[in-house]
A and B are shown apart, each in its own frame.
Chain A
Amino acid sequence: MTLSHSSAGSARRRPRGGAGQSRAGVAFVAGYVILLIAFGVLPTGYAVYFAFTDAGGTFTGFSNFVTTAQDFRFTDAVSHVATYLVFWLLSLVVFVVGLALLLHRLASGTISKALRFLFYIPGALAGAASVLVWLFMLDPTVSPVSSLLGVMGFHTFGAVIAPGNLPLLFTIIAFWTGAGGWIVVMYGALNNIPQDVMEAARIDGAGSWQTAWHVQIPMLRKWIVYMVILAFAGGAQLFVEPQLLSLASVGVAGRDYSLNQLTYDFAFQMNNINGAAAVSVELLVVSVSAAALFVARSGFFDAD
């Protein structure tokens, strides 16, 4: 196999490669493509089909979308999710990138390693497992931080989970479980920034803040974009946190809070899988649009 290779030239992306590389590329992805079709494309296609048909399989246009949007909980759920997304995205981007940079600057490798582990631990606590934890954390009667809650003016569990506090609470819970994993990813990415680039910055007299802002963060761009795309979708599909709080509070807070909770309710309580699919498709469209925006602005798909 011969490759006509030129190392210089900016427009080399397309012409490079050739038939051999193309064939090999296809072979490398073959196994994945099978899984993608079986467990990704087909079910998603099926769900989209559900969204535009009724229980009998007759095409119904947008009527599922209209009926579900008229549900009395729909508008509230949209505004809940929107508020939550603001809190969630901000906290995730700022604190994850910030903490990864701080950890990366630590002189002691052992401490940094230990901290990454400790930050990660909550990530292992999923779903039902953390109901107990948050019930006891947020209940001033038994909480280890009851004095802190008291200072903020919360003296009963009911006061803590008042409707106005919910977006913040869900952000805290989601951040607690989800941030550690992303910190590990970002830290790994920081490690992959070549030493000479960092040294060059240092020789130019850049302080650590300047290096972070002008060198490290730009080089993390793809990772950050990826995180934001997934965090946006995950946030729009908020489900676990309100469900968890609803269990802990025996239904006082968090029930029917988010759109994704409504899809579960439609699908499995009201036996309306078509309505559920319609809401899911709406969430998908929103997430994909947001992703497209980020991808287009960042050159995310370029193989460079």
Chain B
Amino acid sequence: MRTQNATAYRFLTPYLLIFAIFWIWPIISSFIISFQATRTVPWRFAPAFNWGRLIGDPAFYNALKNTLLILVIQVPVMIALAIVMAVLLNSPLLKARGLYRFAFFAPVVVGEVAYSAVFRLMFSLDFGIVNKLLESVGLAKIDWFSNVTPAMALIMIAVTWRWAGYNAIIILAGLQSIPEDVYEAATLDRVSRVKQFFHITLPLLKPVIVFCAVLSIIGTMQLFTEPFLITERGGPGGGTETLGLLLYRQGFRSLNFGYASAVAYTMAGLAIAITLVQLWLMREPK
């Protein structure tokens, strides 16, 4: 046993050092900082300073509201779309499968900055290709950047485009792990394909779908680049400001580390709550 301890830690220590310094310690440190007044030197312990401000801050509620709004609309739409993509890509009837896979999976490799730039240009008011196409079919053009509702819609469209294929890859892997013979019995009993999908496929996919939903919720909760670059720092007038953007502005524009840490820990609290819901959904049936 003694020799295995030494050998094991020789392999483990380099990673554990980095993990402790840049992940575990910051998690603890962030919690401590959120209870400190950080705009005075030296920082002092003031438990209600940041959290008290947070509870009464309209900017916080605005960012929280926008973030939750994006979550409850964008995540379900995207997951549904990803399921449709995965199921159809898995169909034995599909020709030129590689081309379709490329179309849906390609956004996975596109960086946030590159695609934010393209979306910003595509949706611009007078010269954006989207408005030009809307007008060419007789529809009114939309001012995507000056009104809150279209701006929020634009953020959701962009995030959905970027991440639907990513989720489809995971769901497709889940689909392909369902054994064929599950369907054979149903087909012999002349159960329709639609019924097979709802009564066999979806229940078997539940763990994968919940996993994708949790991953997407935690990702969307930290949404930063899209409202930062596409809608210009959360515009119009804070209409697309998210918790991620609030954290950035408080932490790195105003250098108010204590308050920004409180915002960060609010996000952590949400993430923990969502993870607990996941564990509850995935509990073993008694």
A binds B: no
